[in-house]
Amino acid sequence: MLQSLSKRDLLARTLDVTGGGRALLAVGAWDGILILNYHRVGDSSQSLFDRNLWSATDADFDQQMEMIAKQFDVIGLADFERAKHERRGRYVMVTFDDGYGDNYTNAFPILKRHGVPATFFLTTGFLDSQQVPWWDEIAWMVRTTAMPALVANRWVTAPLKFDEPNREVTIRRLLNVYKGLPDEVTDSYLSFLATTLQTGRCQKEAADGMWMTWEMIREMRSNGMTFGGHTVTHPVLANQSSAQQDWEVGECKRRLVEELGESIEAFSYPVGGRSSFNGFTRAALAMHGFRWGFTYIGGRHEHGSSDPFAINRAAIELDVTPPMFRAITTLPQFFA
C-alpha cells in the first residue's frame, strides 16, 4: 500500500508516526490564516451526483473540528480583517461553498458542538429554485447511462469509457470540458450529453432537499455562522461577459441582503482556480461593495498579504486522511 502513496502522503505519515508534526505544532512552524474550504459533509458512496463534492464524512469532520478547536485560534469572518493585520499568530477559518443541505443537517451540529464558527458562501439561485447544478447533472448522466462509452466528438477528442474504474475519470474529464467552455455554449453541451448518453436532462425533482433553505440559514446565523456570496447560478465567471459577471455578483448580493438583512462583504469564486475569475470579476466585486474574494487555489493567507480579491483557501476533500489533515494544519506552507 505504501508504494501507491504519493511523496506528500508519505511525508504526512512520517510526520505523524515520528512525532515530528507534534513538535512542529508546539514550536509554531507557521504564521498567518489557514482557511479550510469544504463543500459537503456526509456519506457519498451511494450518490448518483458528483462524489468529489463531499469533503469529509460526519466522523472525519467531527475529528477535524475537534482538533482545530483545541489547537488553534479559530476565527470567523468578523475577525478576519483584524487577524490579517496581526504580525504573528496562527489562525484557522472554516468555509463552505455552494449551500448544500448537508451543511445544515450534518456539518452545522458538529460546528456548534465544538464552538467553531464557519462562513458559508451561497449560490442564491439554487436556494431559490432548488435545481440540480451542472456538475451534479453531468455526474448523474454518466452514472445512469446504459451506454458503454462516449465516442470522440466535437467536445472530446478521444473515447471515454463508463465502466469502473473509468467512470469517475470520465466524470472529471467531462466536468473539465464544461469549465473551459464559453458561457453561451454550456447548455448546448449539457443537451448533447443528455441526448448522446440517452439519459435526458436530470429532472428538477432530483434536487428536492439538495439545498439549504433561507430558514435554515437564518437559524445558523443566530448560532454564530456567517454568509457570503457565490453567484446566482454558479458559472465559471471568467467565461462570461462583464455584464453577465456583474449580474451574477450583484444579484447574488441583493438576495443575500434581502433575506438576511445585513451587510454582505465576502465572496468566493465558483470553481475558484486562477483562470476562473479575471479583472472584470474583481471590478464587479468592488462595484458591489465586497471587501474580499476567496479562491480555491490552496495555501494560507500570510500576514501582510495585500490582495483582498485573491485570498487563498486550502481544499479539504475525501482523500484528506487524518495524518494529511494534521499535516495541512501543522505545515500549511508545504501541505495546503
The domain ranges of the chain are: 30-130+211-335, 134-205
- Pull the grid cell for residue 40: 459537503
Arithmetic mean of pLDDT over the chain: 93
Other C-beta atoms closer than 10 Å to the C-beta of 323 total: 18
What CATH number does domain 30-130+211-335 carry, 3.20.20.370, 3.40.50.12780, 1.10.3720.10, 3.30.70.960? 3.20.20.370
Rounded Cα distance between 3 and 9, Å, is: 11
Residue 2's pLDDT is what?
A: 40
Residues 318-325: what's their mean pLDDT?
93
The x, y and z cell numbers of residue 14, run together, are: 512520517
pLDDT at 3: 42
C-alpha 296, offset from chain centre: 7
DSSP-assigned letter for residue 39 = -
Give 23 or 231, the one with higher predicted confidence: 231
Q: Which residue has the higher pLDDT, 8 or 258?
A: 258
CA distances 150 to 78, 136, 159, 167, 245, Å, are 48, 18, 5, 11, 33
Burial annotation 60-83 (CB, 10 A radius, 16+ → b, else e): bbbebbebbbeebebbebebbeeb
Contact residues for 45 (Cβ-Cβ < 8 A; gap 6+): 51
- On the question of pLDDT at 182 being above 80, the answer is yes
Q: Express as a percent the part of the chain with pLDDT over 90.
A: 84
CA distances from 216 to 14, 37, 99, 102, 222 (A): 42, 20, 11, 11, 10
pTM of the model: 0.94
Q: Would you say 122 and 230 are in contact if contact means Cβ atoms under 8 Å apart?
A: yes
Rounded to an integer, what is the distance from CA 282 to the centroid of its chain?
19
Alpha-carbon gap, residue 211 to 216, rounded angstroms: 10
User: If you count them, how many residues does the chain have?
Assistant: 336
Whose cell is 456526509? That residue is 42
pLDDT, mean of residues 92-99: 98
Cis before 165? omega within 30: yes
Give mean pLDDT, residues 165-182: 96
Local structure of 210: helix, strand or coil: coil
